[in-house]
Structure 1
Amino acid sequence: MESKNLKQTVEERALAALDPIVAAEGLELVDLEFVREREGWVLRLFIDKPGGRVGLDECSQVSRAVDPVLDVEDFIPHEYSLEVSSPGVNRPLSKPAHFERVKGQKIKVKTFGPLGEPPRKNFTGTLTEVAADAISVDVEGAGSFRIAFKDIAKAHLEFEF
């Protein structure tokens, strides 16, 4: 299996299997990634809770809850490490509800392909609107851009100190 396909397959299967488990623990699976690092493969889960402030206790709780599921489902064909953490200040945004929570704040969006005039793939600005199928971002000096969810490769909150 090609590693890109493996990465995508593992992420999709992990999301489907683990999202309900994390929800049953009273937490939200904000995002996950399956990445190859110097030490080997890592399945990293980013969790959150209403009001934020995820601590070590919640990370341990989720780790204990998902570990047996990963063993039973057994869809990762080689050794890997499991990490559970908070999304941090530059939290990833992937679901419409995530964008809705940070409306009015500065975000950074990377698209799969170039959009707008002149064409660009990176948009940093204020999130002004969240619709069912798209968001609008005001980029200083460049105007407002409507970006469909299907075109978003990655997005995160741009924390300002």
Structure 2
Amino acid sequence: KVAGIVEPVINTLGFRLVRVRLSGLNGQTLQIMAERPDGTMTVEDCELLSRTVAPVLDVEDPISGKYHLEISSPGIDRPMVRKSDFSDWAGHIAKVETSIVHEGRKKFRGRIVVGDADSIVIESDQISYGNEPVVRIPFDLISDARLVLTDELIRDALRKDKALREGRIPGDDLGDGRGDESTEDNQEAASTESEEK
């Protein structure tokens, strides 16, 4: 429900919603992750979103009780929530959890080989106990997925960030064009808090 309320506001400001998560029991935190289309996000962007989204949430009142509003960027080891995230980050290592047992387990880790309309293919980097080295995971079974912080991911992110700062389009001359993250500006440290009344 919260995503349906805040996404139009976020989109109007030129950002895209990455994830909404409510955590905590007594001291609840509503985390809204967003980014610009080019993957960047500054502290000032977080402040702007917080000042704009907080009043809308106060009026709509989708959460009972008090909570802290946290606006943040996805960071370099970002959660993967859209189908396009998997194709955008193909070649990088991800951790994927499924909602039910699939291929004898619920947790997978490996290189994203391909993402298509219905599933992703992971090439395991930790083969053990007879697990298949390549696993196809249907999207509707994925409960959580995120990139794993590796030297390769950091290098790609730095190249992308440099290209953005120099005004080039990421992927034009950066090898395979994976990813769209800024490193310095996309740390989850960029967050602000607000309390519901």
TM-score (norm 2): 0.71
Identify unmatched segments of 5+ residues in structure 2: 152-197
**Count of aligned positions:** 146
Q: Which of structures 1 and 2 has the larger relative contact order (alpha carbons within 8 angstroms, sep 6+)? A: 2
| 1:30 maps onto 2:18 in alignment | yes
Amino acid of the structure 1 residue aligned with 2:58: D
SS of aligned partner of 2:24 = strand
17, 24, 30: which one pairs with 2:5?
17
Q: Which residue of 1 aligns with 2:107?
A: 122
Distance across 2 between alignment mates of 1:62 and 1:149:
30
Q: CA deviation at 1:113?
A: 1.4
Alpha-carbon distance, 1:94 to partner: 0.9
Corresponding residue for residue 135 of structure 1:
120
Question: When you count strand as a share of all residues, which structure comes out higher?
Answer: 1
Match of 1:94 among 66, 81, 84: 81
2:30 to 38, 43, 57: 43
Deviation by residue 1:84-109 (Cα, 9 ceiling, x = unmatched): 01111210001112222211111110
Conserved in 1, the CA contact under 8 Å of 2:87 and 2:116?
A: no
Structure 1: segments with no counterpart, 5+ residues: 1-12
Match for 2:147: what amino acid?
A: L
Give the equivalent residue in structure 2 for 1:160.
Answer: 150
Q: Secondary structure at the match of 1:89?
A: coil
Amino acid at match of 1:127: I
Deviation at 1:69, TM superposition (A): 1.1
Deviations 1:126-155 (A, max 9, x none): 111111111111113341111111100100
Shift of 1:52: 2.3
One-letter amino acid of the counterpart of residue 69, structure 2: L
Equivalent position SS for 1:68: helix
Please state whether the residue corresponding to 1:75 is helix, strand or coil: coil
Return the letter of the residue paired with 1:148: P
Q: Shift of the alpha carbon at 1:75?
A: 1.5
1:148 aligned onto 2:138: yes
Residues 1:81 and 2:68 aligned together: yes
RMSD value, Cα = 1.3
Matches of 2:120 and 2:5 in 1, distance apart? 28
Letter in 1 for 2:82: K
CA–CA distance in 2 between the matches of 1:17 and 1:134? 28
| TM-score of the superposed pair, with normalisation by structure 1 | 0.86
Which structure: larger Rg?
Answer: 2
Distance 1:58 1:49 in 2: 9
Q: Which stretches of structure 1, 4 residues or longer, exceed 6 Å deviation after superposition?
A: none
